[in-house]
Amino acid sequence: MICYCFQYTEMDIRKDVFQNNGQSPLLDRIIAERKQGTCQCDIKNPKGT
């Protein structure tokens, strides 16, 4: 699992990159949410981060 907040897997990101000519809106969303402090990785990730 790449992102526990949005339930994105590595395969989701890979498919997204392939379908979007090397770009990943999913990854962009993860990065934006982290910058805004709205992700909940510390709560949803079983490892804590």
What integer pLDDT is reported at residue 21 of this predicted model?
96
d(CA 31, CA 33): 6
d(CA 40, CA 46): 11
Exposed e or buried b per residue across 10-46, where buried means at least 16 C-beta atoms within 10 angstroms of its C-beta: eebbeebeeeeeeebebbebbeebeeeeebeeeeeee
pLDDT tens readout for residues 28-47: 999 999 899 888 877 888 77
What integer pLDDT is reported at residue 49 of this predicted model?
57
Confidence of residue 48 (pLDDT cuts 50, 70, 90): low
- What is this structure's pTM? 0.74
Q: What is the mean pLDDT of the chain?
A: 89
